Amino acid sequence: MKRLIAATALIFSPMLAAADDACTAGWEDIVTFAGPLAEEITEAQIAPAEDGWCTVSATLDVDRVEARFRFDQLAQAPQNARSIEVTLESVDARIGVFDVTAALSYQAETGALRLHTFSARADDGRGVRAGADISLDGIEGGADFQKVLSALAFQNLSVAVFVTPGMLQDAGIDLSDLSRVTVDNALREVSDRQIDRRSRAEFLRFVGALPNVRGTLDIALNTPTGLRVPQIADTFVRLDKADDDAAIAAALGAALTDATLDLAWKPGRM
């Protein structure tokens, strides 16, 4: 999990990277941006590679981390935007060991942050692929990762979750008590504007396949006001504490205020 947190800090660092993108200088800026998250990174060996890439071999706690990064060479980045591309090998998270790639750009003048691509895949197919348009207003130079993370507002988010039975088990997610009837009753209390009938039916198909589920759950979230990370965390806390259909519906409804959520379940497709 520490590798995953460090990887996230690395991915969201372009807005604070120095103009000098020499590998050592770039790495020093990343470590500064990560703040307390970087305290357990030691023995970092930084070296230049082909096509502007920088390689990193470092110790995080007791684990060895192998990564590559480069600044300002992303072809899809808007004009005058900073960008970073990152790859990490064998990121050890609670739900598996993943190879991670990400590409992100940031326009300081507008606060527009775009996650062009994010992919984390394990050998058995489990993982996630995502892209997002994110607003990041009111952040001054020198802010660290934790301040930036709390200020992120996701406006358009697309996520494909590649689900396997082993992934749910490793995550400690017990959905044995979750039935189509329970989910259907809860979703009936959520506005059709927030989750339409097709999306409800798709999610019920996913629930009906539990617990031996294998396939891709596509999620698309759109909100003009932006969904912030603390709101997302609060939703998961409320869902965990929910003890009836009304509480589940209230948690979902609060999270989706001014938002629409589209879902699609593709069994067997990874």
Instruction: Give the per-residue pLDDT at 6.
Output: 56
Give CA–CA dist 192/187, Å, rounded. Answer: 9
Instruction: Give the per-residue pLDDT at 180.
Output: 67
Instruction: Give the per-residue pLDDT at 102.
Output: 93
Are 54 and 73 within 8 A, CB to CB?
no
pTM of the model: 0.80
The DSSP call for residue 211 is S
Closest CA to 49 of 29, 26, 17, 65: 26
Give CA–CA dist 64/55, Å, rounded. Answer: 13
Instruction: Give the per-residue pLDDT at 24.
Output: 87
24-31 contact pairs (CB < 8 A, 24+)? 26/54, 26/69, 26/71, 27/54, 27/56, 30/69
Instruction: Give the per-residue pLDDT at 158.
Output: 94
pLDDT tens over the chain, length 270 residues: 555 555 555 555 544 444 345 788 888 888 887 777 777 777 888 999 999 999 999 887 777 889 999 999 999 999 889 899 999 988 887 788 899 999 999 888 888 889 999 999 998 889 999 999 988 776 665 666 777 877 888 889 999 999 888 887 787 766 655 666 777 777 777 778 888 889 988 988 888 887 788 999 999 989 888 888 777 777 777 766 767 767 777 777 777 777 888 999 999 876
Hey, which bits of the chain come out as E strands?
A: 41-48, 54-60, 63-71, 82-93, 96-107, 112-121, 127-135, 153-163, 215-228, 260-267
Closest CA to 193 of 228, 157, 217, 222: 222
Instruction: Give the per-residue pLDDT at 93.
Output: 79
Edge-first strand order for the sheet with 153-163 is: 41-48, 54-60, 63-71, 82-93, 96-107, 112-121, 127-135, 153-163, 215-228, 260-267
Instruction: Give the per-residue pLDDT at 13.
Output: 54
Instruction: Give the per-residue pLDDT at 238.
Output: 74
Which residues lie closer than 8 Å to 166 by C-beta, 6 or more apart?
96, 124, 126
- Tens digit of each residue's pLDDT (9 = 90 or more) over 7-22: 555 555 544 444 345 7
